[in-house]
Structure 1
Amino acid sequence: MLTIDFRYLPLKAGDHVLDLGCGEGRHAINIYLQDAVTVLAIDLSHKDISVAREKFLPFENKDDLQRQLFFQVANGTQLPFADNTFDSIVCSEVLEHVENYLAILQEIRRILKPGGQLSVSVPRQWPEKMCWWLSDAYHQVEGGHIRIFNAKKLRQQVEDCGFLFSNQHWAHALHTPYWWLRCLFWKNQDNNRLIKIWHRLLVWDLMEKPWLTRWLERGLNPVLGKSVVMYFRADAKGVNS
């Protein structure tokens, strides 16, 4: 399930791309498959990096040396990369988990080349507020969400770090009711019939991509999309120029 739309984050052969907070590798693997690029996927979780490596194995082409994907455990607030290293950076569904997210944005700006591309996604404000209202456990679980973002404020904070805004959209409208149901029936969600049915729908949609659910989600995303996705370019003139 991809959150980033690569029509708004075009890649080209030879690019160096960072997936910051890669989780189990969904975006990193997709980037690897798109073009002859070098991808570095990092996460703070050793477990997630291990899972991501396992998921990547069926897709790895060791004969194609122009297309590479590396995994590494790293802290987003202290990235172990030189200035101006990457052509593009993806930071999807990460900042809501991090205490000092502004430090991550500043590190991204440091390691992104002037004119380089950045895509950031976070949970959308009003669907996320509903989740918090329905269940305290949803946002109190270890490693869970510690804040609710206002998209306009976050956009301004990213721009203040030296970025130029280029585009925005919403994603995963069909996932919003699913998470509301999970929050509503949090204590018994594993045995809830309605949640199981909705989960099967989401898996079917992911695997088959039927026109009906694709059309439905596109129509609902502006209203019900669970994530807000924003795209930027690093200002070649520098921060606050």
Structure 2
Amino acid sequence: MIRRLMAWLRPPVESTPPAPAAVSPRDIGLVDATLDGWFNNATGELLKGFAIGANDTLLDVGCGEGVATLFGMRQGASVIFTDSEYDKVRDLARQVGRHARSTATPFLGLVSNSLPLPLADGCADKIVCMEVLEHVDQPAPFMAELVRMGRPGAQYLLSVPAPVGERLQQGIAPPAYFQAPNHVQVFDAEQFAALVEDAGLVIEHRQASGFFWVMGMIFFWASERAAGRILEGAVRDRIQAPYPPLMQSWASAWQALLSQPDGLAIKQVLDGFMPKSQVIIARKPDPCAEAPS
């Protein structure tokens, strides 16, 4: 009886709620990108205004992990992908090959620094070169190669880091981030547009976004410095799971912001204030289409 009374008087033991699952910066970055018009499977648009179809041949220069290539394959396009790093091309070729075996979609992977590209003139309808030009010592000849690859009327999707985010990181990132094989060029909006137009392309659309990733990179650098790690090689290969706690906390905060009623409007203001990337969609002139009937 006494034992039952003591048990009744003893305060209940509260179970500790499970810790919330860590939020992946890459997953939140993907959500953020789709809000900007990227990766619309329903319309086949890699970015709004840049649709890829089954009749297209997509050339992805500096393919990296192959986000654009894999999107194009899902739309039924033939794909050509290139990178200067063998491992990147090999790993992407394995993924593309598995898809191609079930769909009989043609593909070609090449290891190349793109000066020159070992491809025939006019081999592609859609050319993608994202976050590559900032790594290139000679961007004008590189752009000329991209233009050579496009058929008349071909469409181009090009992106480079925005200058405001780069200049902010110059005060935080180690000097190696602005040396080869990392960023050796910083383009302001006018320089980027001039590079595209001087190569002979006509600009159709421009946008800038990615505040989430500017802040994410700041937290990455802070974590690297706190851990005493020395930067070597390509930075993009270092930003992988498991992510530093600071980056995961930032991803959780950004996820919470986007879930607010005014979250998208706030995101758009911040993107305009401090974007990570600037994007140009351009087209190669087609003399036949422009000729009077």
Please give the range of the TM-score, normalised by the shorter of the 2 chains: 0.7 to 0.9
| Cα distance, 1:55 vs structure 2 | 4.7
1:16 to 34, 45, 57: 57
Question: AA paired with 2:89?
Answer: I
**Matches of 2:269 and 2:97, distance apart in 1:** 35
Q: Does 1:177 find its partner at 2:215?
A: yes
Moved more, 118-127 or 212-221: 212-221
Match of 1:38 in 2: 78
| Cα distance, 1:219 vs structure 2 | 4.7
Match of 1:48 in 2: 88
How large is the RMSD of aligned CA atoms in angstroms?
2.8
Match of 1:86 in 2: 124
Q: Secondary structure at the match of 1:63?
A: helix
| Cα distance, 1:49 vs structure 2 | 1.6
CA contact (8 A) 2:66 2:92 kept: yes
Match of 1:234 in 2: 284
| Cα distance, 1:211 vs structure 2 | 5.4
CA contact (8 A) 1:85 1:113 kept: yes
Match of 2:149 in 1: 111
| Cα distance, 1:97 vs structure 2 | 0.7
Residue 237 to residue 211, structure 1, CA distance change in 2 (3 Å)? farther
| Cα distance, 1:200 vs structure 2 | 6.3
Match of 2:101 in 1: 62
Question: AA paired with 2:102?
Answer: D
Q: Deviations over 1:53-109 (max 9, x none)?
A: 345466x152312x3443221221201111111101000000001111111100111
CA contact (8 A) 1:121 1:227 kept: yes
**Matches of 2:162 and 2:282, distance apart in 1:** 18
Residue 124 to residue 235, structure 1, CA distance change in 2 (3 Å)? same
2:68 to 4, 22, 27: 27
Match of 2:158 in 1: 120
CA contact (8 A) 2:207 2:280 kept: yes
For 1:161-172, list aligned pairs within 5 A: 161-172=199-210
**Matches of 1:57 and 1:172, distance apart in 2:** 32
User: Structure 2: where are the runs of 5+ without partners?
Assistant: 1-29, 39-45, 230-242, 289-293
Provide the identity percentage.
22
**Matches of 2:268 and 2:94, distance apart in 1:** 31
Question: AA paired with 2:54?
Answer: A
CA contact (8 A) 1:77 1:100 kept: no
Query: Which of 1 and 2 has greater Rg?
Result: 2
Residue 82 to residue 211, structure 1, CA distance change in 2 (3 Å)? farther
Residue 176 to residue 101, structure 1, CA distance change in 2 (3 Å)? same
**Matches of 1:230 and 1:89, distance apart in 2:** 12
Q: Secondary structure at the match of 2:190?
A: helix
**Matches of 2:213 and 2:267, distance apart in 1:** 9
Match of 1:160 in 2: 198
Q: Secondary structure at the match of 1:99?
A: coil
Match of 1:149 in 2: 187
CA contact (8 A) 1:90 1:120 kept: yes
For 1:146-225, list aligned pairs within 5 A: 146-188=184-226, 193-198=245-250, 215=264, 217-225=267-275
CA contact (8 A) 1:25 1:55 kept: no
**Matches of 2:91 and 2:119, distance apart in 1:** 23
**Matches of 1:42 and 1:200, distance apart in 2:** 34
User: Structure 1: where are the runs of 5+ without partners?
Assistant: none
